[in-house]
Amino acid sequence: MRSSVFVLLAGIAVVANAAAPTTEQEMAGVLGHDAECVAYGLPLTSNLGTAFPATDAPRTITDVRNDTEGLKKFQSIQGSIPNIPIKTPGIAYDSAKDPDCWWTTSNCVTPKLAGLKPDIYQAPEPRTLGYGFDDGPACDHNEFYNFLGSKNQKATMFYIGIYVIWFPLQAQRAAADGHEICVHTWSHGNMTQLSNESAFAELWYTIKAIKLVTGLTPTCWRPPHGDVDDRIRFIAQSLNLDTIMWRYDSFDWANGQLGQTPQTIQGNYDKLINDAKSGVLNNNGAIILTHELSNFTMQLAIDNYPKFVDAFDHIVPVGIAMNKTQPYAETTVTFPSFNDYVAQRGGKTTSTNSTGTPSGNTSNNTGNKSGGSASQSGGANPTKPSGASAGLALRPSLGLALFGAIIAGVFSC
């Protein structure tokens, strides 16, 4: 979740750089924000035609009319989608009765509609942390992923669909490193504000993007801003997606807004750590909301990892916490059970005193996400990185030709 000034450079033509990485392994060896975030073009994601929505900027997808398979799937569930009103901004809603299990107003995680799975918001095992990061793949996450790899630590990565298309090699790294990949929608908007077909499309095209790039079909998702109700849960479940929420919010995305400072954000981490040490999590573990978003958020994760190791018995991806041994539709990929994962690590997550430094943009991206309050912002409108101010360094060797207008706005995701 971030909000900062962006510059949209319309009509960018990119001439491929001969030195640009073309494989996941090559990309994983690139370090430093300026080097990692140079635009590169892969045939896999550069010539999509009408197979995907426009990829010049994240926009809410309105329908799946250009996707024969997607349209057929949507039409097969359309008549069964619950008749729950779209949550337009300012809608009159009985939060006390909360008939739709609308998390935004009530933090409801147990659907009111029969047949829907409960949201996953905590680890069922005591003193266990369900570990994951939203808003990836970040173009500059290599140092952070290197850190996780050095600790043999797997996590759950909630990926934004258009970012997967923009940064396919970075997305492939998550799969290569053995992380669990889940859906975080195509454009990171408020899902309950969308029509049935639009909400379906946001999930459908993100699943499709992850499958195209990694060969894996995810079976989990997290709603941006936590904005979900039983209508959206039904659509997600119809696509074989488990809904994953959180029990603790680091508010790492909100640095500089909502009263959050680096000190208060560290205090949010400390609250979880202290609860784990004091016995609050002795019956059930926790899931914390954190982000693969900026140097600030990734460095916080690195700094707090040894503290998590000290406080928790186990730190595991959410799927493993739930004993989900088949995390994807592809049966050729399996995860160990919780007990097997723990046993492989000698009964406890490997401790470490070492540190690392992510190579992301040193600016602190901020956001306006409410993390459970009723005053959530509207849908996000991130813009394709196209210059240093947008978090993407462009080298002259790329031979960029700029056409059209330069448009200023606000980046919020």
* 291 among known catalytic residues: yes
Say whether 140 is catalytic: no
Token output for 346: 């000698």
Choice among 67, 100, 134, 230 that is catalytic: 134
β-sheet bridge partners, residue 157: 133, 181
CATH topology of domain 3-87+95-412: TIM Barrel (3.20.20)
Burial label for 7, CB within 10 Å (0-12, 13-18, 19+), is middle
pLDDT over 90 at 372, yes or no? no
Q: Pick from 324, 106, 117, 75: which is nearest to 232 by CA?
A: 117
List Cβ neighbours of 69 (8 Å cut-off, separation of 6 or more): none
Q: Is 103 exposed, middle or buried (0-12, 13-18, 19+ CB in 10 A)?
A: buried
**Annotated domain spans of the chain:** 3-87+95-412
CA angle 195, 136, 244 (to 5 degrees): 60
At residue 396, the pLDDT reads 24
pLDDT at 393 over 90: no
Q: Which residue has the tokens 């975080």?
A: 184
How many Å apart are CA 127 and CA 320, to the nearest integer? 14
Q: What percentage of the chain reaches a pLDDT higher than 90?
A: 76
* Inter-axis angle of helices 196-214 and 68-78, nearest 10: 140
For residue 91, pLDDT over 80 is answered with yes
Could you give the 3-state DSSP secondary structure of residue 343?
A: helix
pLDDT at 17 over 90: no
* Mean pLDDT, residues 352-367 taken together: 39
The 10s digit of each residue's pLDDT in 222-281 is: 999 999 999 999 999 999 999 999 999 999 999 999 999 999 999 999 999 999 999 999
SS (H, E, C) 346-363: CCCCCCCCCCCCCCCCCC
pLDDT reported for residue 288: 98
Query: Of 141, 179, 188, 291, which is the active-site residue?
Result: 291
Nearest to 45 by CA among 216, 213, 203: 213
Strand duo 132-136 + 156-159: pairing: parallel
- Res 13: pLDDT: 32
> What's the rounded Cα separation, in Å, for the pair 243 and 113?
15
Burial of 143 (0-12, 13-18, 19+ CB in 10 A): buried
Cis omega before residue 137 (within 30°)? Answer: yes
Q: Confirm if 380 and 387 have CB atoms less than 8 A apart.
A: no
**Per-residue model confidence as pLDDT tens digits over 184-234:** 999 999 999 999 999 999 999 999 999 999 999 999 999 999 999 999 999
pLDDT tens digits, 316-329: 999 999 999 999 99
Task: Name the pTM for this structure.
Answer: 0.84
N-to-C CA span, the chain: 5
Instruction: Compute the C-alpha angle 54/56/191, nearest 5°.
Output: 65
Look at residue 338 and tell me whether its pLDDT is greater than 70.
Answer: yes
Report the pLDDT value the prediction gives residue 286, as an integer from 0 to 100: 98
